[in-house]
Chain A
Amino acid sequence: MSLSPATIVESLDGHSSVSSRNGGNVSDSGRERYLEWLGANGLPTRHDEAWKYSPLKDLLARPLDRIASDDDGLAVDPSAIEAALGSINSVESEIRIVLVDGVYREDLSDDAEADGLTIGSVGTTAIDLTETSSDPSSAVRSRVDGFEMLNRGLGSAGVVVVAGDGRAVERPVHVVHLWSGSSDALLVQPHINIHVGVNAQLSVIESFVAAGSTFTNALTTVVIEADGMLRHYKLQSQATGSVHLSHVAVTQRRGSSLEAGAFMFGSSIGRNSIDVIAEGDRTSTDLFGLYLPRGSQHIDNVVTVEHAGHHGSSSQIYKGVIDDHARGSFSGHIIVDHGTVGTDAHQSNKSLLLDPVAQSDSRPWLEIFADDVSCTHGSAIGQLDPESMFYLRSRGIPLDDARAILVGGFINEVVDKVRSESIRHHVMRLVKDQVRSRFTAELGGEL
């Protein structure tokens, strides 16, 4: 039987054969629990609202060579991935964490002890979150799906990043997800576990740069303790031909704030999802994203914010630029729990279609179970404004440059939301490369 996400899950009926392959680092009882869930509930189907726009058939039947094991990632010689490492632009004064095939490589990563950070593999003696009540990995919530459980059950042991109480970590943590190239169609399942302590501050950038036809199924779990602050940015520029699913699950405690941005450039099929439970009162949640599918790319964004505390504020701002016969989608879910007061939640999705056959889907989904709330949502799908195009061209700016400038202007609103200046510069550089490669290359021949 050929290997695919679907066949992996089918084989779980007698799951001992797969469940044991990766054990050791995470408590086996945890793995068992997740795999049992997966065996019983399976992978998402087209009846799952959160997977409505995703090409599930392709995802489930996607041929795989094998599932990456921890040994794979650890065995790779640094020289073998030197080129890939060198090609990653670093963020100013970053603390770099390198993962190879989803596995934390301490030997390739920076030491961060002096910065007030604890970083390590799950299960190492330095970090034993399982002993504390705030173990983020154990915080499996009601809204889970089969791909998250596939990651938890059969994924890498994972890396834990902890900013201790009161620590304002100034240097940004840059998690670089590399692919070893040991096998082309590898199922890579990294798990980043971020814990921001009481009144602590942390910035984390995750760069996904896998090549080949890798299937990335990434999970990032986050707990932000009272009055803590996290900035999290996902920069996905995997090779065309690869699959990228990444899910971020956040729990926010009282007075905490989250700024999370996702920039989806690469992969053939990409799905960026984030699910925030604002559990405490007076939380602030600022989510944004940019997706630029072209060719036959298919990029989905699935965003959920649940306000379970009082006086929480949240915003979702997502923009897509969709070219050729590509598809892009946004599903934005706002839940305001019964009995809460003072929620202020806003959502906006705008997309720009650059080709008559490009497709964009936008779905606001509001479930308000409280009275005292202020919620807005808006979505707009359009094309480049012909009058703006004419204005630029009448000033001597060639057609392709004019398109690039207008797309750049459209995109800037999202990039400008990155508050840290050095990270914004980093993101801006990536975005500019994308815009430049898309428009001048594509239209150059026509002029």
Chain B
Amino acid sequence: MLRIEDLRATIDGREILQGLDLEINAGEVHAIMGPNGAGKSTLSSVLTGRDGYDISGKVTFEDEDLLEMAPEERAAKGIFLAFQYPVEIPGVGNMYFLRTAVNAVRRERGEPEVDAVTFLGSVKQHMAELDMDPGMLSRSVNDGFSGGEKKRNEVLQMAMLQPKLAILDETDSGLDIDALRLVAGGIQRLRSPERSMLIITHYPRLLEYVVPDYVHVLSQGRIIRTGDASLAYELEEEGYRGTEASLSGTGGGASK
């Protein structure tokens, strides 16, 4: 589904991604862990088309060149990014935003727009599952939302947009235990044989709820180690430094 080959990304003269390779197949859940500054968020930005990077290498999504597409085209193809820092947009109603997004994607896919009643029913169901106050629909997008509310709003958007590839950028950070459980439950419910996920996280907590098929360690812009879910706990014990040290001198990134 997603194939990344020798991906390099430079911003302000600094090469953040330094030859990253990764392949994600349909239905797989991959976790990416790594120290601050390793390039985790840059990877999510480059995959979703944020401006400002000089990029080389190759990224295909369902055999199409992803790097050529505008962010909205990528969304229409089925890529979704849950933002690490969801953006506050005063004056734009959350409900209006959600419906515009859902219909834009449907239109791009040649599907009919969803009617107001069906849409509302669907939103309310997802909101109930995430324990969100329906009143948040009439508020401005993320405006004045707490950290936990913002993250839940991201998962709500993901549930409504039903992406093929969901990239979750530190969706678990800043959440208390109850909120983490709700958010993780929302993510887990979206797991399906057709849907892939790329979970960027610092902690194994989220991965207890959403158990990944693969865990990768990203360091200095490339994947230096890949393992199964148990790698997350190993990292917790050894720290990234230990992993980096044990691999130093091997000169190679292991990746799937």
Q: Which residues of A contact B (CB under 8 A)?
A: 385-388, 390-399, 401-402, 405-406, 408-413
Closest to B52 in A: A386
Other-chain residue from B87, B89, B90, B105 in contact with A396 (beta carbon distance below 8 A)? B105
Residues of B close to A412: CB separation below 8 A: 91-92
Interchain Cβ contacts under 8 Å between A and B, 8 examples: A386-B51, A390-B50, A392-B89, A393-B71, A395-B157, A398-B72, A402-B72, A405-B100
Write the nearest CB–CB distance from A441 to chain B, whole angstroms: 18
Also in contact, A399 and B70, with CB within 8 A (given A390-B51, A394-B81, A405-B100): yes
- Which of chain B's residues have a CB closer than 8 A to the CB of A387? 87
Contacts of B91 in A (CB 8 A): 408-413
Q: Inside 8 A of A406's CB, which chain B residues have their CB?
A: 89, 92
Q: How far is the CA of A391 from the CA of B83 in the complex (A)?
A: 8
Q: How far is the CA of A385 from the CA of B104 in the complex (A)?
A: 21
Interface residue? B168 (CB, 8 A)? no
Q: Does B236 contact A (CB under 8 A)?
A: no
Top 9 closest pairs, chain A to chain B, by CB:
A409-B91, A396-B75, A395-B101, A396-B105, A412-B91, A409-B92, A393-B71, A391-B87, A396-B104
Contact B161 A408 (CB under 8 A): no
The answer to whether A391 and B104 touch (CB under 8 A), given A396-B75, A397-B72, is no
Q: How many Å from the CB of A55 to the closest CB on chain B?
A: 31
Q: Which B-chain residue is minimally distant from A409 (CB atoms)?
A: B91
A399 to chain B, nearest CB (A): 7
Q: Are A396 and B101 touching (Cβ within 8 A)?
A: yes
Indicate if the CB atoms of A393 and B161 lie closer than 8 Å: no
**Complexed CA–CA distance, A18 and B81 (Å):** 70
Question: Among residues 97 to 134 in chain B, which have CB atoms less than 8 Å away from a CB atom of chain A?
Answer: 97, 100-101, 104-105, 108
* Chain B residues close to A by CB (< 8 Å): 48-51, 70-72, 74-76, 80-81, 83, 86-87, 89-92, 97, 100-101, 104-105, 108, 140, 157, 161
Contact: A401 with B87, CB < 8 Å? Answer: no
Known: A387-B87, A406-B89, A408-B91. A397 touches B101 (CB 8 A): yes
A394 with B161, Cβ < 8 A, contacts A399-B72, A405-B97, A409-B91 known: no
- Say yes or no: A393-B83 contact (C-beta < 8 A), given A401-B100, A405-B97, A409-B89: no
Query: Which residue of A397, A399, A410 has the most chain B CB atoms within 10 A of its CB atom?
Result: A397
Chain B nearest Cβ from A264, distance in angstroms: 19
CA distance A25 to B156 in the complex (A): 66
A386-B51, A396-B108 provided; 6 other pairs, C-beta below 8 A?
A390-B50, A391-B89, A395-B75, A396-B72, A409-B90, A410-B91
Bound: A390/B51 CA distance, A: 8
How distant is the Cα of A397 from the Cα of B96 in the complex, in angstroms? 12
A343–B137 Cα gap in the complex (Å)? 38
Residues of A with C-beta under 8 A to B76: 396
Pick the contact of B104 from A386, A390, A401 — CB < 8 Å?
Answer: A401
Given the interface pairs A386-B51, A408-B92, the reply to whether A393 lies near B70 with Cβ below 8 Å is: yes
User: Contacts A401-B100, A405-B97 given: A394-B89 contact, CB under 8 Å?
Assistant: no
| Nearest chain B CB to A378 CB, angstrom units | 16
Q: Is the CB of A397 within 8 A of B104?
A: yes
Contact of B90 with A390 in the complex, beta carbons under 8 Å: no
Most buried by A among B50, B81, B91, B140: B91
Shortest A415–chain B CB gap in Å is: 9
Bound-state CA distance A389–B157 (Å) is 16
Cross-chain contact B72 with A393 (CB below 8 angstroms):
yes
CA distance A405 to B51 in the complex (A): 20
Minimum distance in angstroms from A5 CB to a CB of chain B = 39
Report the bound CA distance from A411 to B157 in whole Å: 25
Question: Inside 8 A of A393's CB, which chain B residues have their CB?
Answer: 49, 70-72, 75
Contacts of B108 in A (CB 8 A): 396
For the complex, give the distance between the alpha carbons of A386 and B89 in Å: 12
Smallest CB separation, B11 vs chain A (Å): 14
Which residues on the A side are within 8 Å of B49 (C-beta)? 390, 393-394
Q: Specify which chain A residues have a CB less than 8 angstroms from the CB of B72 in the assembled complex.
A: 393-399, 402
Closest to B90 in A: A409
Alpha-carbon distance A391/B98, docked complex (angstroms): 12
* Chain A nearest Cβ from B172, distance in angstroms: 20
* CB proximity of B112 to chain A, nearest CB, Å: 15
The residue that B89 contacts in the complex, of A388, A411, A413, with Cβ under 8 A, is: A388
Which residues does chain B contribute within 8 Å of A401, judged by CB atoms? 100, 104
**In the docked arrangement, what's the CA distance between A387 and B108, Å?**
23
Residue of B nearest to A447 (CB): B70
CA distance A385 to B85 in the complex (A): 14
Q: Shortest beta-carbon distance, B211 to chain A, in Å?
A: 27
